[in-house]
């Protein structure tokens, strides 16, 4: 099966998004050739079937071609956005993976701005299933703390799900770019072990605020959570970064 994000698949979505009427295999094949892709009608047909199975296209009842679905338009828009943001994301990645305390704190400051917004929006937009999953992650994290196990993966899952639940693709992409992955995880683990209870309660508070649809409280709890982390980084970070440099 062709991946929905492949160049040819995205071109098909783009062709249909700009068409005022359903298009058949031959019409799409000819347009692909015009755009520089020499494909056969059989190849185009397979691509169309794959995209239809993904819910990105739909076939007309009279079998007179296909049209793009709402999901297909959203998928295409998100891929265009990712392509436009890629150069900036590469620059951000250099900061995220920085080994200096000053830049590391800048990343956390950026996380505070982005994640206070994703928490507020998650309280408004998260589905019932997403809230249940958020509670499951918090419970698993608390169990891991009681067993003195690492909780790094649960932290990533927790914040990633909140970003996804916000319903804002730009904020979600920004979070993924500046997220904790690759950011001095050894130091984070040291802080978690030293102040496990504090971060346990802050995750629970954020989760409850989102569950109760309290947008203001969700935002406030996330800000307090990140600021607490920044405070601990400033307390323990100097020693850690001096050792690493």
What is the residue-wise DSSP string for 194-231? HTHHHHHHHHHHHHHHHHTT-HHHHHHHHHHHHHHHHH
- 121: pLDDT strictly greater than 60: yes
* Average pLDDT of the segment spanning 83-92: 65
- 145: pLDDT strictly greater than 90: no
Q: What share of the chain is helix, strand, coil (3-state, %, to 5)?
A: 75, 5, 20
* Average pLDDT of the segment spanning 193-197: 62
Residue 95: band (very low, low, confident or very high) from pLDDT cuts 50, 70, 90: low
- 4: pLDDT strictly greater than 60: no
| pLDDT for position 94 | 63
If one counts every other C-beta atom within 10 angstroms of the C-beta of residue 41, the result is 13
- 170: pLDDT strictly greater than 90: no
* Average pLDDT of the segment spanning 156-166: 93
- For the chain, what is the mean pLDDT? 83
Cβ-contact 64, 13 below 8 angstroms: no
Distance, CA of 105 to CA of 87 (rounded, Å): 22
Q: What would the two tokens of residue 86 be?
A: 């890629």
Q: Number of C-alpha atoms within 13 angstroms, CB side, residue 217?
A: 14
Residue 78: band (very low, low, confident or very high) from pLDDT cuts 50, 70, 90: confident
DSSP at 23: B
SS3 state at 182: coil
Q: What would the two tokens of residue 44 be?
A: 């185009």
Residue 232: band (very low, low, confident or very high) from pLDDT cuts 50, 70, 90: confident
| pLDDT for position 74 | 83
Distance, CA of 100 to CA of 184 (rounded, Å): 10
| pLDDT for position 97 | 59
Return the beta strands (E) in 4-163 as ranges.
57-59, 66-68
Burial 141-174 (b: 16+ CB within 10 A, else e): bbebbeeeeebbebbebbbbbbbbbbbbeebbbb
Distance, CA of 48 to CA of 54 (rounded, Å): 10
Q: pTM score, two decimals?
A: 0.63
| pLDDT for position 230 | 86
Which residue segments constitute the domains of the chain, with CATH numbers given?
A: 7-72 (1.10.10.10), 97-244 (1.20.120.530)
- 181: pLDDT strictly greater than 50: no
| pLDDT for position 245 | 44
């Amino acid at each position: 099966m062709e991946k929905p994000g492949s160049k040819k698949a995205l071109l098909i979505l783009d062709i249909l998004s700009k068409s005022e009427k359903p298009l058949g295999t031959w019409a799409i094949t000819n347009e692909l050739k015009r755009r520089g892709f020499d494909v056969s009608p059989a190849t185009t047909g397979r691509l169309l079937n794959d995209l239809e199975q993904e819910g990105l296209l739909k076939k007309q009842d009279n079998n007179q071609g296909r049209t793009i679905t709402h999901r297909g338009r959203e998928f295409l828009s998100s891929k265009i956005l990712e392509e436009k943001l890629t150069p900036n994301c590469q620059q951000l990645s250099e900061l995220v993976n920085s080994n200096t305390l000053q830049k590391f704190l800048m990343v956390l400051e950026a996380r505070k701005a982005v994640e206070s917004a994703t928490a507020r929006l998650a309280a408004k937009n998260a589905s019932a299933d997403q809230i249940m999953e958020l509670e499951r992650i918090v419970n698993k994290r608390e169990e891991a703390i009681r067993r003195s196990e690492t909780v790094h993966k649960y932290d990533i899952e927790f914040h990633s799900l909140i970003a996804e639940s916000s319903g804002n693709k730009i904020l979600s992409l920004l979070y993924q770019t500046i997220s904790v992955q690759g950011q001095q995880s050894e130091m984070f683990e040291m802080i978690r072990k030293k102040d496990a209870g504090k971060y346990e309660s802050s995750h629970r508070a954020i989760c409850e605020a989102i569950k109760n649809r309290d947008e203001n409280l969700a935002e406030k709890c996330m800000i307090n959570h990140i600021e607490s982390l920044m405070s601990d980084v400033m307390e323990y970070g100097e020693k850690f970064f001096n050792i690493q440099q």
